[in-house]
Chain A
Amino acid sequence: MEPSSNSAPGSPRPEDIKAIPVRHPGRWVTVAILAVLVAMGVHAAVFAKVQRGNSSDGRLQWDIVGKYLFTHVIFEGLKVTIELTVIAMVIGVVGGVLLAVMRLSDNPILSGISWVYLWFFRGTPVLVQLYFWYNISYIFPPTTNGTHKTLSVGVPFGPEFIHFDPNKLITSFVAASIGLGLNEAAYMAEIVRAGLLSVDYGQTEAGQSLGMSRFLIMRRVVLPQAMRVIIPPTGNETISMLKTSSLASAITVGEVLLAAQNIYARTYQTIPLLTVASIWYLIVTSVLMTGQYYVERYYARGRVRELPPTPWQRIKGLVITRHALPPAAVDLEAVTGVGLLGGPSKR
């Protein structure tokens, strides 16, 4: 590993090159322009006052934002937003995997069903789909059976299997979960399909030659490798779903946007409350992005010889190498490296 060992024996290692770096005057101009723009933005957002009625007031009214940011009503709404996102994504991912496998299957009936599903759910706006689910009892009106209303599922003109009251079963929350989830499944199906197709066909053949069944090859060989391609856009979809779930406010689901709307409908403090909702969306998105980073790292195992250190490991590494180890030992560590998933490497 010593570079001098490659050159002729006896010739001393030359000194490191000390050259004058290229100057970048354009960067300073850019920085100056940016600084002015940022100062304008901060002034407008924080310091500037406007005349509202008899009093002068901050443009974004941060005092009101602060007052509502941690209120119980907003937290309740945030809880519903997160529940809705999680449920819709679970339906979306499970449905997406099923649809993708169906689409790629040899069975023309299965791939046909999958195609029609995608055509329908990607071809209509999700807001309209939500309205449909919310008004499902308009399409399937319950028949009054004595005192309670029922709807039954069965073969047309044949036997009926299940009876239920649609107004009780399909609450607005259930309607939103189903609507967002089934719509998401159509998009996830394309993502999963791209992932499955990205895995080399030799992997399938290796599984086949070992006597593995199609299902086993899919579950143990192809899908885990497809995950590397599937995860990043799925993270994207999750973040997107978090925000799309705000559409559920249109069918009276009490998520964070509706919670904010309910307050400003009373107080007319529209902008500060929308700011409150936006701040919470930003916070949850940041958490999701961090989670995505670690999930991606996990599925990269075996693909790269050594995983790059996490930001946390990088900070720890800096502290330890700077303070605990002499320079020679640092070099040694760079050569030995850290094995996969942080374990010591075997060489």
Chain B
Amino acid sequence: MTQPMVLAENVHKRFGAVTVLSGIDLEVQAGEVMVIIGPSGSGKTTFLRCINHLEQVNAGRLSVDGELVGYRESNGKLYELRDSEVARKRAEIGMVFQHFNLFPHMTVLQNIVEAPVKVKKVGRPEAERIARELLSKVGLGDRADAYPSQLSGGQKQRVAIARALAMEPKLMLFDEPTSALDPELVGEVLDVMKQLARDGMTMVVVTHEIGFAREVGDKLVFMDGGVVVEAGDPREVLANPQHERTKAFLSKVL
């Protein structure tokens, strides 16, 4: 059996008295695209943020590529990881945010080369060459010297994807990447993500884009109230949902 890229076993997460995740069991194989849908407040974004330790899991086990997230296990005890160890693991996981979170004081090119140069210690000329390649891949080869404020939302998100890819991640996390975009600009971002999926990138995508799930998803997960209500092949789940809650949700978004 091959090792899953992401393995969640009975994952729980609380914020104070509020329980956001109450027992998530999921598995993403290398090369797979998993799409998570669900109403707001269902915990899907929180789960995504747990995967690269932006949030800390309270109970259960969550591992990426066979290694626990945030902890080291030795002699049956869990040890919290140091900041530098967490950072090293995050460097292998790309993340794309709903609000892009580009660095506004840097040009597009500087945004992309920053982490490879400062974290992975790639030489600047080499990093810039890769950055320009990635930019033309996302269709922005001519905007390398623009500042983020001079770009449209769709362009910003494509730069954010290129920035994450520049670290050569083994896993990409997308947190509602098209939710802050004008309807006209959604397509250009989805096209880039589809291409990425076809290239074999392992992806976990939280989104409301059902069409995207149907077209490129290997697995569709419907979450509500901090649990996985239904999971399976996207085409089957969408065409023939088993659970009442799933049916109700899909009838509103489809």
Q: CB distance B145 to A206 under 8 Å?
A: no
B54 and chain A: residue at smallest CB distance: A205
How close is A343's CB to chain B, nearest CB, in angstroms?
Answer: 9
| Shortest beta-carbon contacts, A-B, top 4 | A211-B91, A206-B101, A209-B95, A210-B115
Interface segment out of the listed B26-34, B147-155, B195-203, B209-217: B147-155
**Would you list which residues of chain B between 70 and 110 have a CB under 8 Å from chain A?**
83-84, 87-95, 97, 99, 101-107
* Cross-chain contact B119 with A212 (CB below 8 angstroms): yes
Min CB gap B54→A, angstroms: 6
Which one of B83, B107, B150, B167 has the greatest number of beta carbons of chain A within 10 Å? B150
A67 on interface, CB distance cutoff 8 Å: no
Residue of A nearest to B114 (CB): A220
Name the residue on A nearest B118 (C-beta). Answer: A216
Given contacts A206-B101, A214-B83, A301-B105, 6 further A-B contacts (CB under 8 A): A209-B54, A209-B97, A210-B167, A211-B119, A216-B119, A305-B150
Give the docked Cα–Cα distance between A206 and B161 (Å): 12
Q: A116–B147 Cα gap in the complex (Å)? A: 41
A210 close to B88 (CB less than 8 A)? no
Minimum Cβ distance to chain A for residue B155 (Å) = 13
CA of A303 to CA of B83, assembled, Å: 31
Q: Which of B87, B94, B145, B146 contacts A212 (CB 8 A)?
A: B87
- Name the one of B84, B104, B118 contacting A225, with C-beta atoms under 8 angstroms: B104
Give the Cβ gap from B77 to chain A, nearest Cβ, in Å.
23
CA distance A299 to B105 in the complex (A): 8
Proximity bits, A197-213, B CB within 8 Å = 1, else 0: 00010110110111111
CB contact under 8 A between A303 and B52, given known A202-B101, A225-B104: no
Known A209-B94, A346-B145; contact A302-B106, beta-carbon cutoff 8 A: yes
> Do B118 and A203 have beta carbons less than 8 Å apart?
no
Could you mark each residue 203-246 of chain A with 1 if its beta carbon is under 8 Å from any beta carbon of chain B, else 0?
Answer: 10110111111101000110011000000000000000000000
Contact A303 B115 (CB under 8 A): no
Within the complex, the shortest CB–CB distance from A208 to chain B, in Å, comes to: 6
Do A305 and B115 form a contact, CB below 8 Å, given A208-B90, A209-B90?
no
A308 vs B119: C-alpha distance when bound (angstroms)? 36
User: Is B158 an interface residue, CB under 8 A from the partner?
Assistant: no
Chain A: minimal CB distance from B97 (Å): 6
Q: Which residues of A contact B148 (CB under 8 A)?
A: 302
Q: Check if A98 is an interface residue, CB within 8 A of chain B.
A: no
B93 to chain A, nearest CB (A): 7
Shortest Cβ distance from residue A236 to the other chain B in the assembled complex, whole angstroms: 22
- CB of B103 within 8 A of CB of A203, answer yes
- Whether A340 sits at the interface, judged by CB under 8 Å, is yes
- Interface check B132, CB cutoff 8 A: no
Interface string of A72-88 (1 = CB under 8 A from B): 00000000000000000
CB distance from B251 to the nearest CB of A (A): 33
B interface bracket (residues with beta carbon within 8 Å of A): 35 or more
| Complex contacts, A221 vs chain B, CB 8 Å | 103
Chain A, residue nearest B49 (CB): A205
A315 on the B face (CB < 8 A): no
Q: Residues of B contacting A42 with CB < 8 Å?
A: none
Tell me the A285-323 residues at the B interface (CB within 8 Å): 299, 301-305
A-side contacts of B95, CB under 8 Å:
206, 209
Cβ-closest chain A residue relative to B53:
A208
Known contacts A211-B115, A220-B114, A346-B145; A225/B150 CB under 8 A: no
Task: List 11 A-B pairs, Cβ < 8 Å.
Answer: A202-B99, A205-B54, A206-B95, A206-B103, A208-B87, A210-B164, A211-B119, A225-B104, A301-B147, A302-B147, A302-B149
Q: Which of B87, B97, B119 contacts A202 (CB 8 A)?
A: B97
B9 to chain A, nearest CB (A): 23
Q: Which residues of B contact A202 (CB under 8 A)?
A: 97, 99, 101
Closest to A214 in B: B83
Cβ contact within 8 Å between A340 and B54: no
Smallest CB–CB gap between A142 and chain B, Å?
A: 45
Interface string of A248-275 (1 = CB under 8 A from B): 0000000000000000000000000000
Chain A contacts for B102, CB-based, 8 A: 206
Q: How far is the CA of A220 from the CA of B162 in the complex (A)?
A: 19
In contact, B97 and A205 (Cβ under 8 angstroms): yes
Give the chain A neighbours of B105 by CB distance below 8 A.
224-225, 299, 301-303
A46 → chain B, closest Cβ, in Å?
50
Least CB distance from B148 to A in Å reads 7
Residue from A209, A304, A346 having most chain B Cβ neighbours under 10 A: A209
**Nearest chain-A residue to B119 (Cβ)?**
A211
CB of B163 within 8 A of chain A? yes
A213 CA to B91 CA in the complex, in Å? 10
CB proximity of A93 to chain B, nearest CB, Å: 19
Could you tell me if B146 and A346 are in contact, using CB atoms closer than 8 angstroms?
A: yes
Residue on B with the closest CB to A227?
A: B105
Given contacts A212-B118, A214-B83, A346-B145, contact A303 B104 (CB under 8 A): yes
A-facing mask of B161-176, CB < 8 A → 1, else 0?
0011001000000000
Q: Choose among B54, B88, B115 the residue with the greatest number of A CB atoms under 10 Å from its CB.
A: B115
Shortest distance between the CB of A180 and any CB in chain B (Å):
31
- Give the docked Cα–Cα distance between A253 and B135 (Å): 59
